[in-house]
Amino acid sequence: MARVFSGIQPSGELHLGNLLGALVNWVNHQKSHDAVYCIVDLHALTLPKRPEELRENSLKLAQLLIAVGLDPDKSILFMQSHVPEHSQLAWLMECTVSFGELNRMTAFKDKSGRNEFISGGLFTYPALQAADILLYDTDLVPVGDDQRQHIEITRDIAERFNSRFGNTFVVPKHVIPPAGARIMDLQHPDRKMSKSETSPAGTISVLEDHDSITKKIKRAVTDSDGEIRFDSNLKPGVSNLLSILAAATSSTPEEVATGYSRYGDLKIDTAEAVIELLRPIQVKFRELESDPAETNRLLKLGSSKAREISSVTLERAMTKIGLLNA
Ligand code: AMP
Ligand code: TRP
């Protein structure tokens, strides 16, 4: 069975972009693949965090992921920092990637431009991400479109290591969903929906109440030509609504576009589809929220399963590079 691995940062709430761009795919993959999913709390440290905030966000994210449909009996779900192999392999990856390669990462440019304190970890972030992926002999990495560059650098690192030291790592491929790959901000459809962005009216949280979802979608920015068709360049606002409706109803934006002639109708149906998509997730989350000890127990089990796989890969890499005796 092919192995799937992906990770997500515990930095605030999950939004519709995370859900449609990545998590729906994670849930689907666990049916037919050997799936490993990681809450990347070490990556969260690349930007300053309050300890309480990090602790709470990590637990909440685990509960959200289970609520969305990740089944700890079917896939491995764990906290990155609880599996020390990730930081250990990350150093080997830092010494395999070049300064120039790291310097070309658009995520670094983006985040370093927006933050006052720029940690060394923010710069070497992709080396840790490569370690995450390569530790599990991963074939496929389901992520949103914004992670393309990070998966490409992971492939480059794996290929370089393999060619220098002999075959060690599986070279992974990314999987980007056709609809939902890039959900945009409802108020600024030229930029992606994001939890770090200060745009509450443009972002829909997975835990958002239903009235607020309807309001935000009704107020979503469109355009004035009155035509409903999918064209992200010329009609970013309308196309975003079509993408959301399509992803929420397992269709394509082009297909859903044919059913509408008025923006108002498109907005009402999009809001309804989003509410229906989120309803069961919200119910399940409230249940899990009342029993944090159970989530922590599941995460502990996840870490020990993850270590069984990652310790073997780390040892192989340490042997190949000359740190352990062959
Ligand atoms: P992040 O919230 O940046 O840690 O991203 C977690 C996952 O959600 C990654 O796979 C991203 O590619 C995906 N993602 C984040 N924002 C969006 C968005 N606006 N549209 C689609 N996918 C997204
Ligand atoms: N950089 C990813 C993001 O911001 C999170 C991440 C860390 C990840 N390690 C990973 C994603 C490994 C996929 C695989 O979304």
Residue with tokens 């049916």: 31
Catalytic residues: 111, 192, 195
Please give the span between the terminal C-alpha atoms of the chain, in angstroms, as a whole number.
29
Tell me how crowded residue 221 is: count the other CB atoms within 10 A of its CB. 18
Q: Provide the CA 283 distance to its chain's centre, in angstroms.
A: 22
Q: pLDDT digit string (tens) for 25-52?
A: 899 999 999 999 999 999 999 999 999 9
Sign of CA dihedral 26, 30, 31, 33: positive
Pocket of ligand 2, candidates 6, 9, 150, 175: which has the most ligand atoms within 8 Å of its Cβ, to mutate?
150
Note whether 282 and 233 are within 8 A (CB). no
Report which ligand 1 atom has the smallest distance to the Cα of 40. 4
CA–CA dist 127, 132 (Å, integer): 9
What is the pLDDT at residue 199? 82
Pocket of ligand 1, candidates 18, 80, 203: which has the most ligand atoms within 8 Å of its Cβ, to mutate?
18
Amino acid identity of residue 232, one-letter, is: S
Q: pLDDT digit string (tens) for 55-77?
A: 999 999 999 999 999 999 999 99
What is the pLDDT at residue 196? 58
Mean pLDDT, contiguous 10-residue spans, the chain (326 residues): 96 88 91 96 96 97 97 97 98 98 96 94 98 98 92 98 98 84 92 80 96 98 95 96 94 95 97 98 97 97 98 98 96
What per-residue string of b and e applies to 273-298 under the rule 16 or more CB within 10 Å gives b? bbbebbeebbebbeebeeeeeebeeb
Tell me how crowded residue 162 is: count the other CB atoms within 10 A of its CB. 15
Could you tell me the two tokens for 165?
A: 């030291």
Q: Provide the CA 127 distance to its chain's centre, in angstroms.
A: 17
CA–CA dist 108, 120 (Å, integer): 11
Does ligand 1 lie within 6 Å of residue 18's CB atom?
Answer: yes
Three-point CA angle 314, 317, 318, nearest 5°? 85
CA–CA dist 254, 92 (Å, integer): 45
Provide the strand spans (E) within 104-209.
Answer: 140-142, 173-175
Does ligand 1 lie within 6 Å of residue 17's CB atom?
Answer: yes
Could you tell me the two tokens for 68?
A: 């969305």
Q: How many helices (H) and strands (E) does the chain have?
A: 14, 5
Domains and CATH numbers, the chain: 3-180+291-321 (3.40.50.620), 200-286 (1.10.240.10)
Could you tell me the two tokens for 14?
A: 């999950």
What is the pLDDT at residue 181? 74
Q: What is the pTM of this model?
A: 0.92
